[in-house]
Amino acid sequence: MTKTGQFATLAVHAGQEPDPITGAVIPPISLSTTFAQSAAGVHRGFDYSRSGNPTRQAFETAVAALEKGKYALAFSSGSVTTATVLNMVGQGGHVISVNDTYGGTFRYFTKVAKRNGVEVEFLDLFDPNVLKKALKPNTKMVWIETPTNPTLRLVDIKAIAEIAHSQPGVVLVVDNTFMSPYFQNPLELGADIVVHSVTKYINGHSDVVMGVAITNSDEYNEELKFLQNSIGGVPSAFDCFLANRGLKTLHLRMKRHEENAIAVARFLEASDKVEEVIYPGLESHRQHALAKKQQRGFGGMVSFRLKSGGLPASNRFLSTLRIFALAESLGGVESLAELPAVMTHASLTPEARQEVGVTDTLIRLSVGIEDAEDLIEDVRRGLEAALP
Ligand code: P1T
């Protein structure tokens, strides 16, 4: 019986039925790669673990409930989720992507999808009307991230969905990694498929690399399930167990991430060593009104630009931090800081970095769930060292 309820209840209970044999209240780690059949082709829902696995199913059911979707499919990374979804577009297909994406997504689109005969065009979709003029007869997919990584710009999902769907067969995909299902549900705003790097907030403890795709469409689910099984980029049962465990506290963590992010963003905004703070929860964010409209909160990611000093100042900031670890990734309980131009977004061409504003003084913070006062003190010391 599927439990119903609001977010926290679903996070704890959806897909987590007690084991019918032992009564275990937590889905066991089901390591078996294969499942006995009572007659050839007759089984209890699982035949081979690439095609389906009980621990994976528990996680998928929970994520689907939180993203307001009918179906979820888990993958072995956010990147292979992207690759699998892109496989829905056949040779000769045209894809329109927002011009500010995670560096690995940009790399896949420009280097790998291209090899497979898929043309990806990058556009500034922050004005939805840009999409209207860009749709071509062979456009099969529109890909957006919102807020974007790392410049935290927003795309109006509802407006983009309306325009994308004015052409039959165009699939709108939203990478919802930065918001997590707690703060934003793109399917409710008209998206067809939502993807996540589960590695980030959903798992939340920086100990699993995983991805997931969610949809309400029977047709897209069938296609993605076929691709998931054919390409085979599936996560291990152990990773599914950990991600499932992480998911149960998503609501608690996201609230705290946000509280701390607001405190850090306000501190940065008041500093004379900072040129610009980019956080959708600040009134100064250019799209604050849109953030309030399409999100239920603002998340835990804060980007900012040092006032001067170039790369050396950024490096001084980063190497002085004691609580924030200088590391890629985001969304874990611990705070992280990084330099996108050199780290996560190094795979963008210099021109692409320039276009979206990934400069040498742009620093990205993944604000964790520690005590805000300690985080602020760490950032204060970093700024002092960066620009004495
Ligand atoms: O790392 P992986 O699980 O394969 O997910 C890729 C990915 C997809 N989408 C977004 C928005 C992402 O941020 C990422 C991964 N990002 C980082 C590793 C990073 O530090 O930004």
Residue in 152, 199, 209 to alter for ligand 1 test, most ligand atoms within 8 A of Cβ: 199
Protein residue with its CA nearest to atom 17 in ligand 1: 329
- Alpha-carbon distance of 70 to 224, in angstroms, equals 13
> What are the residue boundaries of the structural domains of the chain, listed by start?
7-247, 251-386
Encode pLDDT of 161-185 as tens digits.
999 999 999 999 999 999 999 999 9
Q: What does each C-alpha distance from 210 to 80, 230, 323, 342 come to in angstroms?
A: 9, 18, 26, 24
Encode pLDDT of 360-383 as tens digits.
999 999 999 999 999 999 999 999
Encode pLDDT of 207-255 as tens digits.
999 999 999 999 999 999 999 999 999 999 999 999 999 999 999 999 9
CATH match for 7-247 among 3.30.1490.20, 2.60.40.10, 3.40.640.10, 2.60.120.10: 3.40.640.10
Model-level pTM?
0.97
Encode pLDDT of 31-66 as tens digits.
999 999 999 999 999 999 999 999 999 999 999 999
Encode pLDDT of 118-139 as tens digits.
999 999 999 999 999 999 999 9
Fold annotation for 251-386: Aspartate Aminotransferase, domain 1 (3.90.1150)
pLDDT at 4: 81
Pocket lining: 104 vs ligand 1, CB cutoff 6 Å: yes
Active site residue 175: yes
What is the DSSP track for 351-386? HHHHHHT--TTEEEEE--SS-HHHHHHHHHHHHHHH
Q: Which helix (H) or strand (E) holds 171?
A: strand 171-175
The three-class DSSP label of residue 269 is helix
Question: Is residue 266 over pLDDT 60?
Answer: yes
pLDDT at 1: 46
Point out the catalytic residue in the list 47, 50, 70, 307: 50
Question: Is residue 326 over pLDDT 80?
Answer: yes
Active site residue 360: no
Protein residue with its CA nearest to atom 5 in ligand 1: 78
Pocket lining: 236 vs ligand 1, CB cutoff 6 Å: no
Residue in 100, 149, 202 to alter for ligand 1 test, most ligand atoms within 8 A of Cβ: 149
pLDDT at 35: 98
Point out the catalytic residue in the list 102, 108, 182, 279: 102
How far does the centroid of ligand 1 lie from the alpha carbon of residue 191, in Å?
20
